Amino acid sequence: MPVSTSSQGLPVWRRRTTRAQWLQYVAWLAGISLFLLCWKTISDNTMWVFVEDAGRQGSDLISRMMPPRWEYANVLWKPMWDTLNIATLGTLIGIMMAFPVAFLAARNTTPHPLVRSVALMVIVASRSINSLIWAMLLVTILGPGVLAGIIAIALRSIGFVGKLLYEAIEEIHPTPVEAISATGASRMQVMNYGVLPQVMPAFAGISVYRWDINIRESTVLGLVGAGGIGLQLNASINSLAWDQVSVIFLMIFVTVLVSEWISARVRHAII
């Protein structure tokens, strides 16, 4: 923060030097131009007549959603049960696969740097691709159904759990590990006694957290045919039965809130 002298000989304080100030302006200008350019691209691709109509469309939509067709809820229990199973089984399979991957990816437990980069690749690939995309692919391979959903959720969870777990492994205290090695323990024994107890709470917390996210994600997998309540959602939207859609939305809302509450409680109890 420079202090310069003005022409009257008084000291003047400014937050940045002139050069830094200019750089700042240029950066802002560039950022805003980029934003406006993007905005223009979007606006060119938009049919503005539809947008002007949006308010009316919105209120029309809401009026068609109200009142919800409550009796439709009876049809939804089975799909909801499927959704919960997709999330839970998917999470279980996902964390079972993420567990070894995380140990291979952590700098302090990996057997070889080459193995580490392969494990990191697996984690990045799994994290980058949304479970819905996995589901689309798996539906073409396995056919529509719950199985595709479970595997999609599992594949997506590997990256998430793997990343957080390997970061937790890299942050453990090295001294207990050193002490266990000094007893003449084998590599696997060092993992079992020195590393595992230290990361177990983190692992449980991450898994429950991912389960909560997976409940949310599994509600929409049906849109691409991978089972669960999303199938009913898709069917209702396609037949423009908006009063059924609102029942489904409410059901999803409540389920997600409950799962979030459970996950928060469990994580609180672990930590």
- In this complex, which beta carbon is closest to other proteins, that of residue 4 or of residue 201? 201
Asked if 235 touches other proteins (CB under 8 A), the answer is no
Residue 6 interacts with other proteins (CB under 8 A)?
Answer: no
How many other C-beta atoms lie within 10 A of the C-beta of residue 235?
14
| Binding footprint of other proteins, residue count (CB under 8 A) | 73
CB of 189 to other proteins, least distance (A): 5
73 vs 172: CA distance, rounded Å: 48
Output phi, psi for 4, to 5 deg. Answer: -115, 180
User: Which one among 68, 72, 80, 82 touches other proteins, defined by CB under 8 A?
Assistant: 82
Query: Per-residue x/- mask for other proteins, residues 43 to 62, rule CB under 8 A?
Result: x-xxx--xx--x--xx--x-
Q: Of the candidates 22, 28, 70, 81, which one interacts with other proteins according to CB under 8 A?
A: 81
Interface stretch with other proteins, choices 10-18, 69-77, 109-117, 220-228 (CB under 8 A): 220-228
The dihedrals phi and psi of 5, each to the nearest 5 degrees, come to -115, 130
Integer Cα distance of 101 and 123 in angstroms? 8
State the SS3 of 121-166: HHHHHHHHCCHHHHHHHHHHHHCCCHHHHHHHHHHHHHHHHHHHHH
Residue 39 binding other proteins, by CB under 8 A: yes
Cβ(2)–Cβ(14) below 8 Å: yes
How would you classify residue 3: left for phi > 0, otherwise alpha for psi between -120 and 50, otherwise beta?
A: beta
Within 113-172, which residues bind other proteins (CB under 8 A)? 124-125, 127-130, 132-133, 136-137, 140-143, 145-147, 150
Comparison of 25 and 39: residue with beta carbon closer to other proteins:
39
